[in-house]
Amino acid sequence: MRVTLLGTGAADGWPNPWCTCGSCADSRRRGELRRPTSALVDGTLLLDLAPAPPPDGISLAGVHTVLVTHDHADHCAPLALLARQWVRRTQPLTVVGPSPVPTMLRPWLGPDDPVDLVAVEPGGTLHRAGYRIRALAAEHEVPTVLYDVTGPDGARLLYATDTGPLPARTVEAARGAAYDVVLLEETFGDVTDHDTGHLDLHTFPDQLARLRTAGAVTGGTDVVAVHLGHHNPPAAVLAERLAGLGARLVPDGATVEARPGQATLRPGA
């Protein structure tokens, strides 16, 4: 399984274009942009419809299934489907998400678009072109699902954004999963009074500990922090703090090569 991080940033990206904080200034100085979070699996399965185009050189032409977590604009951008319509793609596409997602996207489809909108709820399972996909519950402000994806090669991915502290039923559903890759959100850094359905540097390690206790995260799991906002410290500091938790920071466009029991990072797409 090849997991390419199309974006690793929060809704406003990092740096936020309106912001002059130290973290945003550091990102600009280094020329590092983090788009809203999205990922591409094996060039065929897209996790979230982000509003930003993918990094240079990455095509979505091979995508047959899109897994949308929820209907917030940074994860469910209808223009992405309109762009597909404009090039008159004739290949069928399935877009999956909680019930508000099909409702939001349907008006953006043309009458002849070969797009199938599928509603899914926590606990639901789908099979698409050799992938087994389970929808897990999230703790968020609107109906949201996380995705547990097993590839044809047996590699297993947990895509866990947007969510606050994981619901107990989600941790239980992931018991013994021994994921090869976990993409876990960490939006707010050192800000802990945000009162949102997101994680920060206080709650992120707690969720990792819960997943480790359940056998969902093991010594062989590659944990990558995503949905990163400018409330985090500058990237070098954040990377060091995440390393102490057994997690990593990777740039947009990086690809994680995941094999059962082993995951490695490629620097580019």
What type of residue is 98? P
Closest of 221, 249, 269, 210 to residue 34, by C-alpha: 249
- Predicted confidence band at 267 (pLDDT cuts at 50, 70, 90)? very low
Residues 116-129 have pLDDT tens digits of: 999 999 999 999 99
Residues 213-244 have pLDDT tens digits of: 999 999 999 999 999 999 999 999 999 999 99
What type of residue is 85? Q
pLDDT at 262: 64
pLDDT at 264: 59
Q: Which domains does the chain have, with CATH numbers?
A: 2-262 (3.60.15.10)
Buried b (16+ CB within 10 A) or exposed e, 110-138: eeebebebbebebeeebebeebebbbbbb
Residue 151 CB-density burial (10 A; 0-12 exposed, 13-18 middle, 19+ buried): buried
The string of DSSP letters for 31-50 reads: T--BPBPEEEETTTEEE-B-
Which helix (H) or strand (E) segment holds residue 67: the answer is: strand 65-67
Q: Answer yes or no: is pLDDT of 259 > 90.
A: no
pLDDT at 258: 85
Place of tokens 């690809």: 255
**Cβ partners under 8 Å of residue 90, min gap 6:** 114
DSSP class of residue 107? Answer: G
Residue 75 CB-density burial (10 A; 0-12 exposed, 13-18 middle, 19+ buried): buried
Helices and strands: H and E segment counts in the chain: 6, 14
- Report helix angle 22-30 to 235-243, nearest 10: 100
Residues 203-214 have pLDDT tens digits of: 999 999 999 999
Q: CA 31, CA 179: separation in Å to the nearest integer?
A: 32
Residues 138-185 have pLDDT tens digits of: 999 999 999 999 999 999 999 999 999 999 999 999 999 999 999 999
Q: Do 98 and 119 meet the contact criterion of CB atoms below 8 Å apart?
A: yes
Q: Helices marked H in the chain — which ranges?
A: 22-30, 78-86, 100-105, 168-173, 203-213, 235-243
